[in-house]
Structure 1
Amino acid sequence: MIVDSILFIRGGALGDFIVTLPALRLVREKWPQAHIELLGYPRHAALGVDRYYLNAVRSVDTGPLAGFFIPNAVLDPDLVDYFGDFDLVVSYFYDPDQIFYQNLKRCNMPNLITFSPVAGLAPAAKHFCAPLSELGLGTDDYSSRLHLTAEDKAWAVEFLKELDPSRPTVAIHPGSGSEKKNWPIDRWVELCQRRVLAGKENFVVISGEADDERTQYLLARWPGKTPLVARHLPLPHLAAVLAECGLFIGHDSGVTHLAAATGCPSIALFGPTDPAMWAPVGSHVCVLERHGDMAAISVDEVCAAMDQTLGAAPPHPRQRE
Structure 2
Amino acid sequence: MSVRHIVVFRLGSLGDAVVSLPCWHQIRERFPDARRTLLTNMSISAKAAGVPAVLGGGGFIDDFVEYPIGVRSAGSLWTLASQLRALRADMLVYMAEPRGLASVYRDWAFFRLCGFQTIVGLPWRDDDRNNRVDPATGLEELESLRLARQMAGLGPIDLSRPGAWDLCLSDAEMAVGTQATAVFGETPFIAINMGGKDKEKDWGQANWERLIAELGAAIPGAGLLAVGAPSDSARALALRPHWPGPLVDACGVLSVRECAAALEHARIFIGHDSGPMHLAASRGLPCIGLFGDFNRPAKWHPYGSAHRILHRMDGLAQISTTEVLEAATSLWHRAAIAA
Secondary structure of the structure 2 residue equivalent to 1:175:
coil
Note if contact 2:216-2:245 (Cα within 8 Å) is conserved in structure 1.
no
1:55 maps to 62
Q: Does 1:264 align with 2:285?
A: yes
Instruction: Name the residue aligned to 2:91.
Output: 87
Alignment partner of 1:187 is 2:207:
yes
1:29-70 superposed Cα distances (whole Å, 9 cap, x missing partner): 222332222122484323223414323333335999964886
Considering only aligned residues, what root-mean-square deviation do their CA atoms show, in Å? 3.2
Aligned ranges for residues 191-270 of structure 1 at < 5 Å? 191-197=211-217, 199-209=220-230, 211=232, 214-215=235-236, 218-219=238-239, 221-223=241-243, 227-232=247-252, 233-270=254-291
Matching of residues 121-140 of structure 1 within 5 Å = 121=132, 122-135=141-154, 137-140=155-158
The 2-side partners of 1:289 and 1:63 are apart by 31
Moved more, 293-302 or 255-264: 293-302
CA contact (8 A) 1:164 1:202 kept: no
Could you give the per-residue CA deviations for residues 167-200 of structure 1, whole angstroms, max 9, x where no partner exists? Answer: 2111111122222222232121011112234523
In percent, how many aligned pairs have the same letter?
25
| Equivalent-residue separation in structure 2 for 1:75 and 1:224 (angstroms) | 54
Partner of 1:299: 321
The alpha carbon displacement at 1:118 in A equals 7.0
1:229 to partner: Cα distance? 0.5
Question: What is the DSSP-based 3-state SS (H/G/I as helix, E as strand, rest coil) of the residue aligned with 2:2?
Answer: coil
TM-score, normalised via structure 2 length? 0.79
Cα distance change of structure 1 residues 62 and 16 upon mapping to structure 2, 3 Å threshold: closer
Deviates more, 1:148-157 or 1:47-56: 47-56
1:275 Cα shift?
Answer: 3.4
If the length of structure 1 is used for normalisation, what is the TM-score?
0.83
Q: How many residues align?
A: 311
- Residue among 84, 101, 106 paired with 2:108: 101
The whole-number CA distance in structure 1 between the counterparts of 2:96 and 2:150 is 10
SS at 1:277's partner residue?
Answer: coil
Amino acid at match of 2:109: Q
Aligned-pair CA distance for 1:107: 2.7
> Could you tell me how far apart the structure 2 residues matched to 1:163 and 1:75 are?
48
Find the counterpart in structure 2 of residue 141 from structure 1. Answer: 159
Q: CA deviation at 1:126?
A: 2.1
- The separation in 2 between residues aligned to 1:115 and 1:211, in whole angstroms, is 38
Query: Following the alignment from structure 2 to structure 1, what is the Cα–Cα distance between the partners of residues 36 and 227?
Result: 31
1:281 to partner: Cα distance? 0.5
AA aligned to 1:81 is: A
Is the contact made by 2:4 and 2:89 (CA closer than 8 Å) also made in structure 1?
A: no
Q: Does 1:285 align with 2:303?
A: no
Any gaps of 5 or more consecutive residues in structure 1? none
Change in 2 beyond 3 A, CA 1:292/1:52: farther
The one-letter amino acid of 1:86's match is D
Structure 1 residues 286 and 97: CA distance shift in structure 2, 3 A: closer
Structure 1 partner of 2:137: none
